[in-house]
Amino acid sequence: MRPMIALILMALIGQSAGAAVPAFVRDVDVSTLNGLGAKQAGRVVPLRSFAEAFVTDVHGDTPMVAVDGTAVDPLVTLLESVFHPERAMEWCTVASPGRAEPRRAGEALEQLAFDLPAGDFDATQTSDLALLEARLALIVFASEELLIAPGEAGAPWLSIDDARHAGHGALIDRLATAWRLGDAPTVNNALSDLGAALQRDQRVAGVRPWILNAERLLDRVPLLSISVLLYILSAVLTSLKGFRIACLLAGMGLLVHIATLACRAIVLDRIPVQNHYESMATVASIVAGGGVLVAWRSKQPTILAIGTALAGVLLAVAEWLDVPGRLLELEAGILSSTAILKYHVLTILAGYALILFGAGIGSVLLVQRATGNSADRIADLHRMQTRLGYWAFWVLGLGIFLGAVWADRAWGRWWAFDPKETWALITWLVYLAMVHIPASRLAPSRQPVIVAILHLLGLLAMLWTYFGVNLLLPSLHSYA
């Protein structure tokens, strides 16, 4: 057995596997801590978000429960792990694939200790042991992992033990003693005093509470899901001749969408285009915004339906599927090297939005032509898809050029036929062919269909460049 687990086992054996969390936790008031932050993965996060993530990592889907059956506040659970880790360990759970119900740490360790003399553990027991070790280690080191604001700007953030030596020793000792004794009134007084002291330290350290509040908003409210529903409802109402209401719903969805991206940008102090999740959300906002603006000015319901439907589907994929990048993370070092890279990425994403919108209009044109719609309607769609093709050609070309400028500065070369570069060029060549269609010898009656087909080919090339290269091919752009 691993040494750490053996030590924990000796500490836990003899405890009741069903030991209850003491009733005093129901009376603990942690409201004074709600505005505080903690340092995690190099950035400041809301303390409550830190506590919620800690509870999930340690207790899984079986949180600590008080004697009356109510779930314990995540902040209280975190403080229990800091000030009374022995009792917190008892509430670690193990949910092995071979068992229907999770087991508490005491029960699992007692069974492991009973099975140990019989020989090697089987696969389930080994899995239990590894999970227990990881979860118990989080509790053992909780007082070191919880980093709170220092009392001076630019200083390193402090663990609980460090804070004892930085002016808060008496407060923390009073809190720790009262916590272990189960003295709720003293705990609440100590938490109130400590919360006020840490609020002052945060102001000195330059932590802005409104940014922490913005992150809590992102954590608690499914804002992009609201945008998805508004976009889809707008597309449906447009098809039912409710153009004005559809525009209103699409505008509301767009406002929520942009506000969410703005919150993410404020929290992370960067443009939200670093990963697949963020770039998909950004492309969806451009498509939705373009659809609403053009439809409102031209009074064309079809444009609104295409824009909102495409934005809704793309945003739903990003929000509801396991797309990488949803978690709030700092910017990768290479992505913060120069402003040119940000312009490159934003320009490329704008080009992708134009490609997506153009393919949507091209698809509608092909369907309407196949179903025998009026020539005037086909001509309107053709004019729109041609304009989008021109814009996609120039915007995508500018994005590729900016990428080459950045590559020369970062890697010392303009072009190396990296898979992403190669497929971006292929995508751009599709649109190069498209912009020459009006001047070609093709009969005018055939040009709408050819342009629509090229839009669909451009979409396929773009999707392969966007997803396929990143996920399936080795590339210097694998982080993009």
Please report which residue ranges of 60-168 form alpha helices under DSSP H. Answer: 74-83, 85-89, 105-115, 123-140, 142-145, 160-163
pTM for the model: 0.84
Under DSSP, is residue 42 helix (H, G, I), strand (E, B) or coil? coil
Give, to the nearest 10 degrees, the angle between helix 74-83 and helix 47-59. Answer: 70
Residues 5-22 have a mean pLDDT of: 49
- Asked whether the predicted pLDDT for residue 60 surpasses 80, the reply is no
d(CA 8, CA 30): 29
- Asked whether the predicted pLDDT for residue 48 surpasses 80, the reply is yes
pLDDT digits (tens, 9 = 90+) for 185-227: 999 999 999 999 999 999 888 888 899 999 999 989 999 999 9
Instruction: Please state, as a whole number, how many other Cβ atoms lie within 10 Å of the Cβ of residue 282.
Output: 23
d(CA 461, CA 480): 17
Residues 106-123 have a mean pLDDT of: 58
Q: What is the pLDDT of residue 325?
A: 86
Name every residue whose Cβ is closer than 8 Å to that of residue 458 and which is 6 or more positions away in sequence.
Answer: 355, 358, 359, 392, 427, 430, 431, 434
Question: What is the DSSP annotation of 221-265?
Answer: S-HHHHHHHHHHHHHHHHHTT-HHHHHHHHHHHHHHHHHHHHHHH
Residues 425-434 have a mean pLDDT of: 96
The structure tokens 């590894």 sit at: 130
pLDDT digits (tens, 9 = 90+) for 136-173: 778 878 888 888 888 777 788 888 878 766 678 888 99
d(CA 204, CA 191): 20
Task: Identify any residues that bridge with 148 across adjacent strands, giving them in sequence order.
Answer: 158
CA-nearest of 416, 366, 424, 420 to 392 is 424
Q: Considering all CA atoms of the chain, what is the largest pairwise distance in Å, rounded to the nearest integer?
A: 90
Instruction: Please state, as a whole number, how many other Cβ atoms lie within 10 Å of the Cβ of residue 150.
Output: 20
- Asked whether the predicted pLDDT for residue 280 surpasses 60, the reply is yes
Give backbone dihedrals phi and psi of 66, rounded to 5 degrees, phi first: -75, 175
Residues 406-430 have a mean pLDDT of: 88
Identify the band that residue 13 occupies on the pLDDT scale cut at 50, 70 and 90. Answer: very low
Query: Half-sphere exposure of 352 toward its Cβ, with a 13 Å CA cutoff?
Result: 28
Name every residue whose Cβ is closer than 8 Å to that of residue 58 and which is 6 or more positions away in sequence.
Answer: 77, 81, 88, 92, 135, 138, 139
Q: What is the pLDDT of residue 20?
A: 53
CA-nearest of 127, 90, 129 to 113 is 129
What is the four-CA torsion angle of 302, 306, 312, 318, rounded to 10 degrees?
Answer: -170
- Asked whether the predicted pLDDT for residue 57 surpasses 70, the reply is yes
Beta carbons of 58 and 81 less than 8 angstroms apart: yes
Instruction: Please state, as a whole number, how many other Cβ atoms lie within 10 Å of the Cβ of residue 206.
Output: 10
CA-nearest of 428, 342, 418 to 390 is 428
d(CA 288, CA 112): 56
- Asked whether the predicted pLDDT for residue 41 surpasses 70, the reply is yes
The structure tokens 């040494």 sit at: 3
The separation between the first and the last C-alpha atoms of the chain, rounded to the nearest angstrom, is 43
d(CA 206, CA 234): 43
Structure tokens at 192: 């109130």
pLDDT digits (tens, 9 = 90+) for 314-371: 999 999 998 888 888 876 656 666 788 889 999 999 999 999 999 999 999 999 988 8
Beta carbons of 103 and 125 less than 8 angstroms apart: no
Count of H helices and E strands in the chain? 20, 4
Structure tokens at 122: 């089987």
The structure tokens 């040119």 sit at: 340
Q: What is the pLDDT of residue 417?
A: 84
Give, to the nearest 10 degrees, the angle between helix 301-320 and helix 339-370. Answer: 120
Question: What is the DSSP annotation of 391-442?
Answer: HHHHHHHHHHHHHHHHHHHHHS-S----HHHHHHHHHHHHHHHHHTSTTSSS
**H/E run at residue 93:** strand 93-94
**H/E run at residue 45:** strand 43-46
Handedness of CA 432, 438, 439, 445 (dihedral sign): positive
The alpha carbons of the chain give a radius of gyration, in whole angstroms, of 29
Q: What is the pLDDT of residue 92?
A: 64
Q: What is the pLDDT of residue 334?
A: 60
Residues 226-253 have a mean pLDDT of: 93
